[in-house]
């Protein structure tokens, strides 16, 4: 933890006061809750709490959320604690379906009465990227504390979020329709046709705990670029990154009626968002079970789902296996494996399997486990003890079914599950057939490349897959055969660029994210015909 006697950084000093927002035409008014009150414009900066904890969040009170131009605390609240040591980080409102109704009504009104022109959307996103870049360390600290993501990894997420905002701004500036060649037929003579891309309407966004900043930005950035107001439900375990992001967006000039945060349980506020008639699109990242239930519950809405995966990586005998091992050390265990593209199933050619297992075992043994705020930490705790115990149970079950635990597989005195390498795993084991979402890599040997491709495809998921080979013929065969949304050659399936089209098949989802692709989903094509 940071020394409580250390002076606040210049960046952290921006977050000291919470603010009460009142809707304005181009920004917000603010009332400082400490040291008297005065009105601020949307661009005014606020300063940070100097006590240990999340900058800008008072652990001793309920953190209000922006809703209908106000800061709302609700009538009930939920505590948010560190997954690593249980430290109280703060509390959030436990809002209701009535609060969702209010948020959606305000968002719908904003869309019709205060539409955002493209230049202004881009300007807001560009400014937000600058502000977020200035405060990356504060956001990294927030991510590390609320998600138990090691601080070095958390910094990477904050940096990626800046890029996602920048790419969203670029899309806002370049968003365009197309000309329809009506005069290609005699019936169209004398007519001009073109297509406009218009906002689809109010967007309901439901985000997960594992990337509490960047995956929120992947929903809000494209929505702003498309001109759509958003009602956002962040994960209850990790809400503060989203709340702090909202403050940045408002400071960047986003009208307060274009973003409303509704914290609370999924069965209450989540269902209220999904069921609301005035929500035009749902964007959800999470488990397949919840995602497909949303799709079934909202058959008349556009629903974009980013779901699970049990990402496979094939290492051929001619591939650079040493490079693969070095990458898997990170790709299989970063953020304790809590990523839908965490490398999970490792298929290794028998000719190199012993070497790979030996080197990978040593690599996993060297991973530093501990406090997410410690600069030396590589892996920290899972999001909850329940998840930890589930993953530990799957490891024990695999060992009972004949696999060998080459490294890890135990819960330390600090309560953290150690990074685990399971060797000679078979397809029916849960560590192979299901999404572990924990710090586990399962190794399976193979003799024939076609068998490796078949085993990789033997899954209900289909997000990303990877292959290491020096043979271009095998690489092309893998690209054509692996039935996944993305196939990476000589790279782990965990690699992602925020501007790429990212998404999967089957139980991995039904859409593509990345600002340019998300904006397509968040806009409608409107045909215009002029007769002269």
What pLDDT is recorded for position 519? 98
Distance of CA 311 to the CA centre of its chain: 17
pLDDT at 79: 98
The CA–CA distances, whole Å, from 33 to 20, 360, 429, 473 equal: 8, 53, 55, 65
Q: Rounded distance, CA 88 to CA 343, Å?
A: 32
Q: Which of 381, 281, 340, 323 is nearest to 503 (CA)?
A: 340
Of 370, 368, 372, 431, which Cα lies nearest the Cα of 396? 431
Cβ atoms of 416 and 438 closer than 8 Å = no
State residue 463's pLDDT score. Answer: 98
**pTM beyond 0.85, yes or no:** yes
- Pairwise CA distance, residues 43 & 21, whole Å: 12
The DSSP string of 172-229 is HHH---EEE-GGGSGGGTTEEEEEEEEE--EEEEE--SSSTTHHHHHHHHHHHHHT--
* Amino acid 52: pLDDT: 78
The strand pairing partners of 409, in sequence order, are none
Measured CA to CA, the distance from residue 144 to residue 399 in angstroms comes to: 32
Would you tell me how many other CB atoms lie within 10 Å of the CB of residue 405? 16
Instruction: Identify the CA nearest to 230 among candidates 81, 79, 124.
Output: 124
The pairing of strands 19-23 and 28-32 is antiparallel
pLDDT of residue 242: 98
What does the pLDDT read at residue 532? 83
- Is residue 134 part of the annotated active site? The answer reads no
CA-to-CA distance for 492 and 450, rounded, in angstroms? 19
In terms of Cβ atoms closer than 10 Å to its own Cβ (0-12, 13-18, 19+), residue 529 is exposed
Active-site position among 306, 316, 359, 521: 306
At 46 the pLDDT is 35
Give 345's strand partners. Answer: 312, 442
Q: How far apart are CA 531 and CA 105, in angstroms?
A: 37
Helix (H, G, I), strand (E, B) or coil at 80: strand
Q: What is the pLDDT of residue 238?
A: 98
Enumerate domains of the chain plus CATH numbers.
Answer: 63-306 (3.40.605.10), 312-499 (3.40.309.10)
From 340, 359, 432, 513, active-site residue: 340
- As a whole number of angstroms, the distance between CA 389 and CA 391 comes to 5
- Is 340 assigned a catalytic role? yes
What is the C-alpha to C-alpha distance for residues 314 and 321, in angstroms, rounded to an integer? 10
* pLDDT of 524: 98
Return averaged pLDDT per consecutive 10 residues of the chain, 532 residues in all. 35 31 30 28 35 90 98 97 98 98 98 97 98 98 98 98 98 97 96 98 98 98 98 98 98 98 97 98 97 97 97 98 98 98 98 98 98 98 98 98 98 97 98 98 98 98 98 98 98 98 98 98 98 90
Angle between helix 214-226 and 240-251 (nearest 10): 40
What pLDDT score was predicted for residue 31?
28
Q: Alpha-carbon distance 200 to 13, whole Å?
A: 38
Burial class (CB in 10 A: 0-12, 13-18, 19+), 381: buried
Query: CA 215 to CA 143: how far, in whole Å?
Result: 12
Q: What is the pLDDT of residue 363?
A: 98
- Residue 488 φ/ψ region, left for φ over 0, alpha for ψ in the -120 to 50 degree band, beta for the rest: beta
Phi, psi angle pair for 206, to nearest 5°: -125, 115
């Amino acid at each position: 933890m940071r020394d409580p006697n250390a002076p606040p950084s210049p960046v952290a000093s921006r977050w000291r006061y919470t603010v009460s927002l009142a809707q304005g035409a181009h920004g917000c008014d603010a009332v400082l809750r400490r040291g008297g009150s005065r009105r601020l414009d949307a661009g005014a900066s606020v300063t940070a709490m100097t006590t240990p904890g999340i900058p800008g969040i008072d652990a001793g009170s309920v953190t209000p959320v922006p809703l209908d131009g106000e800061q709302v605390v609700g009538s009930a609240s939920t505590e948010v604690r560190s997954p690593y040591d249980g430290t109280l980080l703060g509390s959030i409102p436990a809002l209701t379906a009535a609060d969702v109704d209010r948020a959606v009504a305000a968002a719908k009104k904003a869309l019709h009465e205060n539409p955002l022109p493209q230049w202004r959307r881009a300007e807001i996103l560009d400014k937000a990227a600058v502000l977020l870049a200035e405060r990356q360390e504060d956001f990294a600290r927030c991510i590390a504390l609320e998600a138990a993501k090691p601080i070095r990894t958390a910094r990477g997420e904050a940096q990626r979020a800046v890029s996602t905002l920048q790419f969203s701004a670029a899309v806002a500036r370049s968003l365009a329709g197309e000309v329809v060649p009506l005069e290609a037929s005699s019936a169209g003579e004398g007519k001009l046709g073109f297509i406009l891309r218009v906002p689809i309407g109010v967007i309901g966004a439901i985000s997960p705990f594992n990337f509490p900043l960047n995956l929120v930005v992947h929903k809000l950035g494209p929505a702003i670029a498309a001109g759509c107001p958003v009602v956002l439900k962040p994960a209850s375990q990790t809400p503060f990154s989203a709340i702090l992001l909202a403050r940045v967006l408002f400071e960047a000039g986003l009208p307060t009626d274009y973003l409303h945060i509704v914290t609370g349980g999924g069965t209450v506020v989540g269902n209220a968002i999904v069921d609301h008639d005035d929500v035009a699109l749902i964007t959800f990242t999470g488990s397949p079970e919840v995602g497909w239930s949303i799709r079934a519950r909202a058959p008349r809405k556009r629903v974009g789902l980013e779901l699970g995966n049990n990402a496979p990586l094939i290492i051929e005998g001619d591939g650079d296996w040493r490079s693969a091992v070095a990458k898997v050390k990170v790709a299989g265990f970063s953020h304790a494996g809590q990523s839908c593209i965490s490398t999970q199933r490792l298929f290794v050619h028998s000719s190199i399997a012993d070497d790979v297992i030996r080197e990978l075992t040593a690599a996993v043994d060297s991973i530093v486990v501990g406090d997410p705020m410690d600069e030396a930490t590589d892996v920290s705790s899972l999001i909850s003890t329940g998840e930890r115990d589930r993953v530990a149970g799957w490891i024990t079950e695999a060992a009972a079914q004949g696999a060998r635990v080459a490294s890890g597989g135990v819960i330390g005195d600090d309560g953290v599950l150690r990074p685990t390498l399971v060797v000679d795993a078979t397809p029916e084991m849960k560590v192979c057939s299901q999404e572990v979402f924990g710090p586990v890599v399962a190794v399976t040997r193979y003799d024939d490349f076609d068998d490796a491709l078949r085993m990789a495809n033997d899954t209900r998921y289909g997000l990303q897959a990877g292959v290491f080979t020096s043979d271009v013929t095998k690489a092309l065969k893998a690209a054509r055969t692996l039935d996944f949304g993305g196939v990476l050659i000589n790279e782990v399936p965990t690699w992602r660029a925020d501007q790429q089209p990212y998404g999967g098949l089957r139980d991995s989802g039904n859409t593509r994210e990345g600002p340019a692709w998300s904006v397509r989903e968040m806009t409608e094509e409107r045909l215009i015909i002029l007769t002269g």
